[in-house]
């Protein structure tokens, strides 16, 4: 409700000013009760997890990861990418990514359905470990997700941050497919590919091996893509020249599939940002907790779409808010009746 009806301050929802006060929200509990619940919120106080940086919210992380798999069948096409939780306070887990819309915060590795954006699995990056040397982090992120898949031959799509030749070989060993763009300075790339100058728009150069294939295709700029499977037939697409002429060029099937199925995580992030009420949180894990709540509600919306619901995301959020407020109103009435009887 706070994300749908945005006010300058949290306390304004209980304001005496009729233009600001939210009657529905204020009828469930008072402002003081809301602030008390927020300040007293605890999820885990287990002292056994001292080395775990996420110990304060570890139970809810494990619970949601398990429930996300149980409520929806893992699809064949999956996208893997990074997401960010905004946080500007002090924390050893905080990352700085200058090229992201959210530049400072907690990094989250996400594996989502390529068609709807439903999140099947996620891992919150806690930073470099002092006990273990961090090697090949990009490969390990994809492998950790791939090894949790129950069935073989899923198609995993990821960008050039994760992609490497050694990763494709390791995915082939566990019977999983991988496809994504790759940086030209990666190890074990063939050095005899045609240069950008020798490629015209729409032309392609490729190399094949037993475990992978590399294709270099030029549109306005050259693109390197790698995969450990054959995607099918190439596709003819339309492009505009600088003088306005329409031309048709052949696009490799791998690039066509990558463009089609890579946007699952980005679509989920886009939905999260639609009705996001940014508020200060002095406790670092509060930010992560609220992010997980929004992720859960967004996943619930995608599930409703899969089952034929025609509600928009805004309408779905309103229906969830109304249900929670009604249940809260009934519980507060029962609580007041018990106090009267005493």
Q: What is the DSSP string of 183-216?
A: -TT-TT--TTSPPGGG--TT-EEEEE-SS-EEEE
Report d(CA 136, CA 86) in Å as an integer: 26
Residue 282 — pLDDT band, cuts 50, 70, 90? Answer: confident
pLDDT band at 156; cut points 50, 70, 90:
very high
In this prediction, residue 175 has a pLDDT band, given cuts at 50, 70 and 90, of very high
Q: Give the separation between CA 80 and CA 85, rounded to whole angstroms.
A: 17
Kindly report, residue by residue over 177-211, the tens digit of the pLDDT.
999 999 998 888 888 888 888 898 889 999 998 88
**Packing angle between helix 284-306 and helix 264-274, nearest 10 degrees?**
110
Tell me the mean pLDDT in the region 267-285.
82
Using DSSP's 3-state secondary structure scheme, residue 7 falls into coil
**The two three-digit tokens of residue 324, written as one number:** 């929670």
pLDDT score recorded for residue 323: 84
> To the nearest whole percent, how much of the chain has pLDDT over 90?
41
Question: Do 229 and 179 form a contact (C-beta atoms < 8 A)?
Answer: yes
Q: Could you give the C-alpha distances from 29 to 250, 290, 297, 318, 331, in angstroms and in order? A: 62, 19, 22, 19, 11
* 278 vs 110, higher pLDDT: 110
pLDDT band (50, 70, 90) for residue 321: confident
Most confident region among 24-28, 121-125, 337-341 by mean pLDDT: 121-125
Q: What is the pLDDT of residue 5?
A: 73
d(CA 31, CA 15): 9
| Burial profile 6-37: b = 16 or more Cβ within 10 angstroms, e = fewer | eeeeeeebbeeeeeeebeebeebbeeeebeee
State mean pLDDT over 264-272: 91
Instruction: Tell me how long the chain is.
Output: 342
Q: What is the mean pLDDT of the chain?
A: 86
Q: How far is CA 333 from the centre of its chain?
A: 39
**Residue 28 clears pLDDT 90, i.e. is over it:** no
H-only helix segments in 41-150? 58-71, 137-147
Average of per-residue pLDDT across 304-308 = 91
At 342 the pLDDT is: 59
Give the model confidence (pLDDT) of 60-106 as tens digits. Answer: 999 999 999 998 888 899 999 999 999 888 888 999 988 888 889 99
Does an H or E element contain 264, and which?
helix 264-274
Are 181 and 224 in contact by the 8 Å Cβ rule? The answer is: yes
pLDDT-derived band at 330 (thresholds 50, 70, 90) equals low
Mean per-residue pLDDT, 157-176: 93
Kindly report, residue by residue over 50-60, the tens digit of the pLDDT: 678 888 899 99
φ, ψ (nearest 5 deg) of residue 221: -125, 165
For residues 203 and 225, the answer to whether their CB atoms sit within 8 Å is: no
The whole-number pLDDT of residue 7 equals: 74
pTM: 0.87
């Amino acid at each position: 409700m706070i994300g749908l009806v945005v006010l300058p301050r949290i306390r304004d929802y209980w304001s005496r000013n009729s233009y600001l006060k939210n009657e529905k929200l204020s009828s469930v509990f008072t402002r003081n009760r809301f602030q008390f619940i927020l300040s007293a919120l605890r999820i885990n106080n287990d002292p056994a997890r001292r080395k775990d940086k996420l110990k304060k919210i570890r139970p809810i992380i494990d619970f949601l990861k398990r429930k996300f798999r149980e409520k929806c069948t893992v699809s064949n096409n999956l996208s893997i990418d990074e997401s960010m939780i905004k946080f500007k306070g002090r924390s050893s887990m905080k990352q700085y990514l200058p090229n992201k819309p959210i530049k400072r915060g907690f990094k989250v590795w996400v594996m989502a359905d390529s068609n709807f954006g439903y999140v099947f699995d996620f891992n919150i990056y806690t930073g470099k470990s002092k006990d273990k040397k961090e090697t090949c982090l990009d490969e390990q992120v994809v492998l950790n997700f791939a090894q949790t898949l129950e069935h073989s031959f899923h198609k995993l799509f990821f960008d050039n941050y994760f992609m490497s030749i050694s990763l494709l070989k390791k995915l082939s060993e566990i019977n999983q497919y991988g496809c994504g763009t790759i940086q030209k300075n990666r190890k074990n790339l063939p050095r005899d590919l045609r240069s950008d100058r020798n490629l015209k728009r729409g032309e392609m150069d490729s190399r094949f091996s037993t475990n992978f294939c590399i294709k270099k295709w030029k549109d306005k700029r050259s693109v390197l893509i790698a995969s450990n499977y054959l995607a099918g037939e190439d596709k003819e697409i339309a492009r505009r020249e600088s003088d306005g002429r329409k031309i048709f060029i052949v696009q490799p099937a791998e690039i066509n599939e990558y463009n089609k199925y890579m946007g699952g995580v980005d679509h989920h992030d886009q939905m999260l940002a639609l009705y996001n009420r940014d508020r200060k949180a002095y406790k670092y894990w509060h930010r992560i907790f609220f992010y997980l709540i929004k992720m859960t509600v967004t996943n619930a919306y995608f599930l409703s779409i899969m089952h034929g619901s025609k509600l928009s995301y805004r309408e779905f959020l309103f229906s969830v808010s109304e249900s929670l407020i009604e249940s809260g109103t009934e519980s507060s009435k029962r609580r007041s009746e018990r106090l009267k009887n005493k």
